[in-house]
Structure 1
Amino acid sequence: MTSAIRLAKLQRLRRNELPRVLELCSGCGGMSLGLHAAGFQLVGHVEQDATAASTYALNFAPPEGVAAEQWRQPRDMVDCSAENLAVDLGLPDASGAFDVLAAGLPCQAFARIGRSKLRSVAGDDDAFRNDPRARLYRRFLEYVRAVEPVVIIIENVPDILNFGGHNVPEEICETLDGLGYQTSYTLLNSAFYGVPQMRERLFLIAYDRTLGVTPTFPDPSHAAELPSGYEGARAVALKFIPASGSHFHPIPAAAEGLPGAVSVRSALSDLPFISEHYRDPGSMRRRKLGQHLPYRSSAEVSGYARRMREWPGFECHETTDGHLVRLTPRDFAIFRRMPAGADYPRALKIAEQIFEEALSEVRTRPQEGSEEWTDLRGKHVPPYDPGKFPNKWWKLEPASPSRTLTAHLGKDSYSHIHWDSRQQRTISVREAARLQSFPDGFRFAGAMNAGFRQIGNAVPPMLALAIGQHMRREIEGALEQVFAEDGQQGKAA
């Protein structure tokens, strides 16, 4: 039986009022941006990282009556209850203020890479189980009880399907079943939805049971071919779907005749040619994240690039910002010689060749292992073990979507080396934003590393837009049916 609170929200939506969203762990606002573009109203958000919270406030105006200082305030969802948030934002109460509850819960404890890092730091094989972030989904369920949303959406990494042998989405769905929701989850790859990036994520959607709809997911808008590594990771994740009685929804398949995935070249070619990092490093050091540069006038502007320039509310006509890159002079020559698609083992061989060339130019060749030999080698050859870091470096393939962007870009962007060898560099902050489908007018607070981290942590806005549009169609169709039936019952009575 739907509560009076949820029923009032459904009636509100039936009057074509905008669905009001509260997003937890909002980050800089990737999911919020997509939902906003799909016609949702952003009413509240919770994000503990101060820089990401500032970015959110830079790009989304507070609702009427909400103070700017409260809107940009960082908050921890563990310490901040739904009721406290409502008070801070000047809302009457938590249960009546929000129709949609969304969350991109932290994935470090669920992701396999994050688990191994936690093990190494803590020296404990079960460190990932004990990480407080692994229990945030239970805190999220407390918010569900307090907020009583009629729509729920959660995003996370596919590895959440196997948290030490436990399928967390199934637990969430079973709990939501008991709270009066119909639920589904699946895996979506952003490349199938017009994002120039192979990014596999789990999405869980729940609707109030009164709607009588089991959630489904948007059909792909683009055709893409997943590399073997992504196919393998997907197959492993799907092994943990229960054989019967699961809430898993089959992964939507691309129909015949769809356009191909958006390529890196289509996504980035109109952005500025960057060479200051090797021509004039001082200029790059002085450049700020917010400094604007003009688009390349000679480049063809793809449909995707045009969309990033013209996203409503975030338009950029002649210039855009974010053109910062890492200053790593030892590696510029390696980047220049790497072919597209090359990884770290190949880069190391190239570095060894460059080192041999440098040795041949020395008047007296130093003895191998000597101090002079070691110093010269260090100026040309990276120190990383190729057995431990096979994917540490990767040069983008211009005709394909990018590999997954991660928050680790904030510390090391070598996983995304620009394909244009003339520029001999890793990608810029704005290029990372383009690959994540943030529009060019979206601004990032903080410095370069913070910008990379926020982008890598975000939900791709275009994927969130596709999900938001699909949810609205399902909800609106269900509301028509529910209230039509109520009307017929009233006439019969």
Structure 2
Amino acid sequence: MIVVDLFSGAGGLSEGFHQEGYKIVAQVEKEKWACETLKTRMSYHFLKNNNDLDLYGTYLRSVKDYKHLEQSREVIFKKYPHLKERFGYEILNKKFGNPQNDENATSLKDIQKMIENALIYNGENSVDLIIGGPPCQAYSLVGRGRMKESAEKDSRNYLFYYYLNLVKEYKPKAFIFENVPGILTAKKGKVFEKIKEEFENIGYKIVSGETEIDKENVLDFADFGTPQKRKRVILFGYKNNFNLVYPDFGKHKYEWDHQLVTKNVISDLRNLQPGEGDDHLLVDYIEKDQSELKSYQMFMRKNSFGITNHKSRTIQPRDRKIYELSIKLALNGEQLKYSDLPHELKTHKNETAFLDRFKVHAWDKLPHTVVAHISKDGHYNIHPDIEQSRSLTVREAARIQSFPDNYYFEGPRTAQFVQVGNAVPPIMSSVIAKSLKDIL
């Protein structure tokens, strides 16, 4: 089936569709480094399909830093020069919006033209499926609380109209619209009612889940084999005359022969002290007997040449002491509250807000939700090993998000963290892709 992916990010949602043999002809994403990651991932899938993954390994070994990206890619382009042209057609680094109001935005008409060109380049003339999730912090409960009145004016509230208009233009059989739970309750449900009405007007029915009570249709991706508590909504839309049912995601959930606690997810990765590691360098795995690895860890290592994006932040001595206190408490199932810190470790007098700003991914617990804020500091994503006393690396966060180890994130570390935190976990996208095959 022919797929267009909107608001693609680093490709977490599209990854499962790649794996299941869908043909993704265009991906639209506004962030530069996320687009570079999409290009690298496209290279991976292309080389894998051509039985030439060793060349992908050669590329990873040639990467020194993000500033010489094009130079590093020449090792691939030298053998497959058409890939550079394909990038230009299929990876669209564009921001939806009105160019008259935002000089960085591209009009819907121009983006449509680019998607048309991508279809022609691929020898296709129609789109079967549109996937994506418009950024909508204004919908989230936290976002609405922080922005208050400004949420009414936030342009992100209206990004779904670009999605809507592309559905109207290409008339796919169906679409997948991933979002935060707040989309179902914003303005006491009126926002979602408006969304349903808008899609109804163009001939589509959109449903939020298996029950008719929308607010009960929030999914926890942990229930489908992702090693993380991550509550999201998967909206499914289809042409009115198709009379489809909501996909049965449970049928294709991943089953593991062990608990998905933090230890079974990241403990096989190299230990690091704060500041150690490398943002880009490909590093060999620690040699371990296969029997010592958990099945999830082995799954993450499949078709991988080693570990990348595994560098620990440097931290202040004060923060390291706080991390040590947090880890000791986590061993007893407790969480450090800011108000309980010794006086000398406190940096401000507000002891009522953000009491839980320090949080450990405890060894014996399911990891908590990784979000893009990890790019700003690591306080909410502390590694559980007191001997390391640091925050998670990009690779460890990616493991929790279920990105395979061969998934390389381009750009500076801050951009890598944002890409990982904003993504749909690939394991969940695989579940979605398999489930859609059953009904489309």
1:185-334 aligned at under 5 Å gives the runs: 185-186=208-209, 187-219=218-250, 262-275=260-273, 277=274, 281=275, 284=276, 288-298=278-288, 300-310=292-302, 315-317=303-305, 319-329=306-316, 330-334=318-322
Equivalent position to 1:343, from 335, 340, 343: 335
Tell me by how many angstroms 1:336 deviates.
Answer: 2.1
Report the CA distance shift for 1:198/1:258 in structure 2 as closer, same or farther (over 3 A): same
* Residues 353-379 of structure 1, C-alpha deviations (whole Å, 9 max, x = no match): xx6xxxxxxxxxxxxxxxxxxxxx3xx
Do 2:130 and 2:176's aligned partners in 1 also have CA atoms closer than 8 Å?
yes
Distance 2:253 2:128 in 1: 31
- Aligned runs of 1:316-465 on 2, under 5 Å? 316-317=304-305, 319-329=306-316, 330-338=318-326, 339-340=329-330, 341-345=333-337, 349=340, 351-352=341-342, 377=344, 380-383=345-348, 385-465=350-430
Give the Å deviation of 1:95: 9.7
1:321-370 deviations in Å (ceiling 9; x for gaps)? 1112221132112222322254341x653x41xx6xxxxxxxxxxxxxxx
Question: What percentage of aligned pairs have identical amino acids?
Answer: 26
Matched position secondary structure for 2:222: helix
2:170 counterpart (135, 138, 147): 147
Structure 2 counterpart of 1:83: 112
Name structure 1 gaps, 5 residues minimum.
Answer: 1-18, 120-124, 224-256, 356-376, 476-493
- Asked if the contact 2:265–2:297 (Cα under 8 Å) also holds between the matched residues in 1, the reply is yes
Correspondence for 1:469: 434
Q: Distance in 2 between matches of 1:112 and 1:320?
A: 36
Could you tell me the TM-score, scaled by structure 2's length? 0.79
Q: Count the aligned residue pairs.
A: 378
Aligned partners of 2:402 and 2:425 also within 8 Å: yes
Cα shift readout 1:130-172 (whole Å, capped 9, x = no counterpart)? 1111011122111111111112000010011122223433333
Q: Which amino acid aligns with 2:424?
A: V
Deviation at 1:304, TM superposition (A): 0.8
Runs of 4+ in 1 over 6 A off after TM superposition: 62-65, 92-95, 220-223, 257-260
Q: In structure 2, how many angstroms separate the alpha carbons of the residues matched to 1:94 and 1:175?
A: 31
1:382-430: CA deviation from partner (whole Å, max 9, x where unpaired)? 4373411122110112222111111111112211111111110111110
| Partner of residue 106, structure 1 | 135
2:41 corresponding residue in structure 1: 59
The C-alpha deviation readout for 1:193-239, integer Å capped at 9, x for no partner, is 1111000001111223443322233117679xxxxxxxxxxxxxxxx
Shift of 1:26: 0.5
- Structure 2 runs not aligned, ≥5 long: 47-81, 98-105, 210-217
> Which residue in the other structure is 2:158 paired with?
135
Distance in 2 (alpha carbons) for counterparts of 1:324 and 1:348? 30
Alpha-carbon contact 1:207-1:214 (below 8 Å) kept: no
CA distance in 1: counterparts of 2:183 and 2:123, whole angstroms? 28
Which letter maps to 1:96? N
CA pair 258-88 structure 1, distance change in 2 beyond 3 A? closer
Is the CA contact 1:50–1:73 (under 8 Å) kept in the aligned structure 2? Answer: no
User: Which range moved further: 136-145 or 170-179?
Assistant: 170-179
TM-score normalised by L of structure 1: 0.71
> For the structure 1 residues 217 and 390, does the alpha-carbon distance in structure 2 shift closer, same or farther, using more than 3 Å as the test?
farther
Partner of 1:67, secondary structure, is helix
Shift of 1:103: 1.3
Report the Cα offset of residue 77 of structure 1.
Answer: 2.6
